[in-house]
Amino acid sequence: MQMFFYEIHEGDNELGTAVLLAHEQAFSPEEFFALVKKARALLAEAFEEDTLSEAIANELERSGGFIHVTDDRLLASVNVGETDADTFLVLADEATRSVFVKGQDREN
């Protein structure tokens, strides 16, 4: 099965949010834009999510067969770096993610 990925983002110069969606069907950018505008029109005045982009993604999941790619759907998260010490598994439970790092003592 082939999946196609789409992004919705919002924000100003200080803070921005982005959400990812996946679908089995390839939509042209114009088609996807039309779907987003339709969902936005339905939700612009009232939504329960923290951001409008999340609300639109959830609406497209409910009504359009998209998959809203969220942290709770991640099966694994790995941080990679130039050294072995910088490469580690990020552990998660239902509410949080935990990153284990080894700190260095600093002199004041």
Residue 59 lies in a domain: yes
* H or E element that contains 43: helix 29-43
Q: Give buried/exposed letters for 57-93 (b at 16+ CB in 10 A, else e).
A: bbbbbeebebbbbeeeeeeeeeeeeeeeeeebeeebe
Q: How far apart, in whole angstroms, are the C-alpha atoms of residue 6 and residue 31?
A: 11
Residue 35 lies in a domain: yes
Residue 106 lies in a domain: no
- 3-state SS assignment for residue 38: helix
Per-residue pLDDT reduced to its tens digit, 2-54: 999 999 988 765 566 789 999 999 999 999 999 999 999 999 789 999 888 99
Q: Which structural domain range is residue 67 located in?
A: 4-71
Residue 86 lies in a domain: no
Query: Half-sphere exposure of residue 32, counting CA atoms within 13 Å on the CB side?
Result: 17
Number of domains in the chain: 1
| Model pLDDT, residue 90 | 84
> What would the two tokens of residue 88 be?
């580690």
Supply the pTM of this predicted model. 0.73
Does pLDDT of 102 surpass 50? no
| Model pLDDT, residue 103 | 47
Does pLDDT of 92 surpass 80? no
Q: How far apart, in whole angstroms, are the C-alpha atoms of residue 35 and residue 26?
A: 13
Residue type, 52: L
Per-residue pLDDT reduced to its tens digit, 65-75: 999 998 888 88
**CATH code at 54?**
3.30.70.2710
Residue 90 lies in a domain: no
Residue 13 lies in a domain: yes
